[in-house]
Amino acid sequence: MSTGIRTKVKQQLARAAGRVPGEGATVLIYHRIGGGTADELDLSTADFTAQADLLAELPPGRVVSLDAAADRLDAGLRTPSTVLTFDDGFADTYDTAWPILRDRALPFTVYLASGMVGGPMRWEGSTAKGAPAVGIGWEQLREMAASGLCTVANHTRSHARPALLTTGELDACGDDVEEHLGTRPRHFAYTWGTPVPHMETALRARFRTSATGQVGRNLPGGDPVRLHRVPVRRTDPIDFFRAKLHGRLLPERAYARIVATAKAVGARA
């Protein structure tokens, strides 16, 4: 499915979205910003800026830190909350996204694969093509964390694939972050967004939340070790992005079904 077709499909689907803020916590997933690749997870700087402008225009208290959203859920509140998260720790999170987020005072979380800090972003099973991207540096992470806007969270040390997730991977990342930033991560994101049921006891003992890639909002009573998130892609027109913050995620779910169907019949989706 070409980029143009993806965008047109999403524009049509966005019309099905409501205009009432979705209840509970909507946790958005970003990866790269302005990396200059054609990857669906690499947004243009212009598109990300437009999204940040939309987020900054929301009523006060709508865009919050991951901990603030978790506090609301723990208190049984269904208050609409939007949380921004960036997976892996690409350098462009600092180079491109950080100035935009800082200028608009938007809080965010970086799920960090600590073994990639300052080096090539490549791991087993990575779909990256060509020269690997560069990881963010510890000095840059310190700057963002010191602002009070950035929460640094755990994404394993080596970006271990789900089948290889161990307490050693979790603790190695936690040790790295604590050594360089002085705090131990309270939140975790599964690599590839895939839950690992046999690790849930270890995750509950270490983290307040563990984020999956399962699409959905988070409501009081939900399992914090199975936090839902909503992906943001380069072919999301602004109305489709707005739909992620409103309604019942109908456009996002419909798009996922279309892509799955296209793949099932052998199309390049």
Q: What does each of the 269 residues of the chain score in pLDDT, given as a tens digit?
A: 556 665 665 455 445 555 677 899 999 999 999 999 999 999 999 999 999 999 999 999 999 999 999 999 999 999 999 999 999 999 999 999 999 999 999 999 999 999 999 999 998 766 555 677 999 999 999 999 999 999 999 999 999 999 999 999 999 999 999 999 999 999 999 999 999 999 999 999 999 999 999 999 999 999 999 999 999 999 999 998 998 888 667 777 766 777 666 655 555 54
User: What are the residues whose beta carbons fall under 8 Å from the beta carbon of 22, sequence distance 6 or more?
Assistant: 80, 217, 245, 246, 247, 248, 249
Backbone angles phi, psi at 160, to 5 degrees: -60, 135
Q: Classify strands 133-134 and 120-121 as parallel, antiparallel or unpaired.
A: antiparallel
Rounded to whole angstroms, how far apart are CA atoms 189 and 234?
21
Model pTM? 0.90
Distance of CA 17 to the CA centre of its chain: 21
- Contact at 8 Å (CB) between 29 and 228? no
Distance of CA 260 to the CA centre of its chain: 21
* One-letter identity of residue 100: I
